[in-house]
């Protein structure tokens, strides 16, 4: 019997299939030419624009070109503009999600929200799309919007774990309402649902528990975080880490390789102290700690170097200190740290917290400390105090906590230093923190 007549493929379908095959074969240059032709000859066909967007995106990765990535974003937008002419919801949202991911990557979170809105408008019954929107807001710490979106999502889907997580984070960060935040964070992290399993969320839950004096429950959360590979260890919970760097709570100067530079600073501690004390006498130079780490008290800082850059106006007032620090580029040039004076008034308590990265070590050169027995720094499970003219080094990626139960201010010079095991190439290329 004769074979049934093959259905005739229309010319657009045929060209589209060819272009897609070129893309699959990773012949991107040729595929792009084909899609360029298709989008000209068949400008009304959504799939021509989608294909072009996909190739441009692949090319941008291969060429590591942001220019190309913008072209991809534009192509995605053209496709998305077809709206209901695109039949497949799945294809539409997946294109929108790619576009959002690219905009997030380039740091254009505000622009991404317009794509989110488009997706939510099309599929108002899908909580995932709303959670993606609040995540975009979360990424740029736009907590008001996180709260608003998550609250709306919870009205429609009260048990949605990701919405609970985002809402809990907003309550904690925006309003400092740890009591109200806790059940949301706990429920979400324990749900193990997609979108809830990240180091930052475990850290947020653990810190919330610690501030509510639920110590053993906090340790459980951290232990689980270690098991999941989120934290280097129970006490070392920085989020921006380089692998396999030596890690211990306290370091001896000779272990760092910076002994000579540290000795020199220590030798001049009185001159450094005098510059800092003079500034303390005037108001407005020291700034309040702004990271909500204080339980109670007054804790202020005066920055000399930040992310490896000299804070010019401040250094001008402390020429001796900054002059000494210029000679210690492993510290003043450390782009994952700061150098600053830190003054703590009596009756201060700093909550347990971890620094952001394992790439630095933190030295304290003690300048004013009249009551060593009334102050204390705990790092992991070790405690010590400040003594004038002394210097100690700790790794602030380990959990630490500070008490000042005396009656006189305590003043130190804090110097971050590149972790000695980081190579020159790493020190050059690591992103600033």
How far apart are the C-alpha atoms of 35 and 49, rounded to whole Å? 8
How far apart are the C-alpha atoms of 241 and 248, rounded to whole Å? 14
Q: How far is the CB of 410 from ligand LMR (least distance, A)?
A: 8
Nearer to ligand LMR, 7 or 288 (CB): 288
β-pairing, 391-394 with 360-368?
antiparallel
Nearest to 418 by CA among 180, 204, 165, 242: 242
Instruction: Transcribe 242-292 into DSSP letters.
Output: -TT----SEE-HHHHT-HHHHHHHHHTHHHHHHHHHHHHTSTTSSEE--SS
Nearer to ligand LMR, 185 or 350 (CB): 350
Which residues, numbered 278-307, are part of the site for ligand LMR (CB under 6 A)? none
CA atoms within 13 A on the CB side of 432: 9
Q: How far is the CB of 402 from ligand LMR (least distance, A)?
A: 5
Nearer to ligand LMR, 280 or 350 (CB): 350
Q: How far is the CB of 367 from ligand LMR (least distance, A)?
A: 11
Q: How far is the CB of 309 from ligand LMR (least distance, A)?
A: 20
Whether the Cβ atoms of residue 137 and residue 169 lie closer than 8 Å to each other = no
Q: How far is the CB of 342 from ligand LMR (least distance, A)?
A: 3
Coil, strand, or helix at residue 30? Answer: helix
How far apart are the C-alpha atoms of 97 and 91, rounded to whole Å? 10
For ligand LMR (CB under 6 A), the number of binding residues is: 9
Residue whose Cβ sits closest to ligand LMR: 342
Coil, strand, or helix at residue 337? Answer: coil
Options 39-47, 97-105, 221-229, 342-350: segment touching ligand LMR (CB under 6 A): 342-350
Nearer to ligand LMR, 335 or 353 (CB): 353
The b/e string for 23-39 (b: 16+ C-beta within 10 A; e otherwise) is beeeebeebbebbeebb
Which residues, numbered 117-176, are part of the site for ligand LMR (CB under 6 A)? none
Q: How far is the CB of 406 from ligand LMR (least distance, A)?
A: 14
H/E run at residue 352: strand 348-353
Q: How far is the CB of 256 from ligand LMR (least distance, A)?
A: 17
Single out the residue of 344, 361, 365, 391 in contact with ligand LMR (rule: CB under 6 A): 344
**Furthest C-alpha separation in the chain:** 104
Whether the Cβ atoms of residue 320 and residue 271 lie closer than 8 Å to each other = yes
Nearer to ligand LMR, 189 or 359 (CB): 359
57 near ligand LMR (CB under 6 A): no
342 near ligand LMR (CB under 6 A): yes
Who contacts 418 (Cβ-Cβ below 8 Å, separation ≥6)?
330, 331, 334, 336, 337, 359, 360, 427
433 near ligand LMR (CB under 6 A): no
Q: How far is the CB of 255 from ligand LMR (least distance, A)?
A: 19
Q: How far is the CB of 404 from ligand LMR (least distance, A)?
A: 9
How far apart are the C-alpha atoms of 120 and 129, rounded to whole Å? 6
Whether the Cβ atoms of residue 224 and residue 367 lie closer than 8 Å to each other = no
Nearer to ligand LMR, 265 or 412 (CB): 412
Nearer to ligand LMR, 21 or 383 (CB): 383
Angle at 265 between CA 428 and CA 268, to 5 degrees: 150
Q: How far is the CB of 338 from ligand LMR (least distance, A)?
A: 10
Nearer to ligand LMR, 330 or 416 (CB): 416
Q: How far is the CB of 363 from ligand LMR (least distance, A)?
A: 11
Which residues, numbered 363-402, are part of the site for ligand LMR (CB under 6 A)? 377, 396, 400, 402
Nearer to ligand LMR, 22 or 396 (CB): 396
The size of the chain, in residues, is 433
How far apart are the C-alpha atoms of 280 and 275, rounded to whole Å? 9
Nearer to ligand LMR, 18 or 294 (CB): 294
Nearer to ligand LMR, 134 or 358 (CB): 358
Binding site for ligand LMR (CB under 6 A): 342, 344, 350, 362, 377, 396, 400, 402, 412
């Amino acid at each position: 019997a004769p074979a049934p007549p093959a259905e005739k493929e229309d010319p657009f379908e045929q060209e589209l299939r060819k272009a897609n095959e070129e893309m699959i074969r990773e012949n991107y240059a040729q595929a792009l030419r084909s899609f360029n032709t298709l989008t000209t000859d068949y400008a009304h066909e959504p799939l021509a624009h989608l294909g072009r967007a996909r190739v441009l995106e692949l090319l941008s990765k291969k060429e590591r070109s942001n220019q190309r990535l913008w072209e991809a974003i534009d192509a995605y937008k053209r496709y998305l503009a077809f709206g209901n002419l695109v039949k497949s919801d799945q294809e539409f949202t997946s294109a929108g999600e790619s576009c959002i991911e690219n905009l997030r990557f380039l740091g254009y979170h505000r622009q991404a929200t317009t794509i989110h809105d488009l997706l939510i408008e099309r599929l108002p019954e899908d909580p995932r799309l709303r959670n993606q929107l609040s995540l975009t807001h979360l990424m740029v710490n736009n907590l008001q919007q996180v709260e608003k979106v998550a609250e709306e999502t919870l009205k429609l889907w009260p048990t949605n774990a990701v919405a609970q997580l985002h809402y809990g984070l907003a309550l904690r960060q925006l309003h400092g309402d740890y009591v109200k935040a806790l059940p949301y964070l706990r429920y979400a992290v324990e749900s193990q649902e997609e979108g809830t399993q990240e180091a930052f969320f475990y850290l947020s839950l653990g810190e919330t528990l610690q501030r509510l004096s639920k110590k053993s429950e906090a340790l459980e959360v951290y232990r689980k975080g270690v098991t999941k590979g989120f934290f280097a260890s129970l006490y070392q919970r920085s989020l921006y880490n380089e692998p396999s760097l030596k890690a211990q709570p306290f370091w001896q100067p000779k272990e760092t390789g910076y002994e000579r530079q540290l000795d020199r600073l220590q030798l001049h501690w009185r001159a450094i102290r005098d510059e800092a004390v003079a500034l303390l006498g005037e108001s407005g130079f020291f700034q309040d700690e702004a990271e909500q780490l204080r339980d109670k008290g007054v804790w202020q800082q005066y920055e000399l170097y930040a992310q490896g850059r000299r804070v010019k106006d401040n250094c001008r007032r402390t020429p001796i200190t900054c002059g000494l620090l210029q000679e210690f580029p492993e510290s003043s040039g450390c782009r994952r740290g700061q150098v600053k004076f830190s003054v703590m008034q009596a009756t201060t308590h700093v909550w347990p917290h971890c620094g952001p990265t394992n790439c630095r070590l933190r030295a304290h050169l003690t300048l004013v400390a009249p009551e060593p027995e009334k102050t204390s720094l705990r790092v992991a499970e070790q405690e010590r105090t400040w003594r004038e003219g002394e210097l100690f080094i700790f790794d602030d990626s380990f959990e630490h906590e500070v008490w000042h139960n005396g009656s006189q201010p305590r003043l130190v010079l804090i110097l971050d230093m590149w972790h000695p095991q980081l190579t020159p190439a790493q020190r050059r290329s690591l992103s600033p923190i």
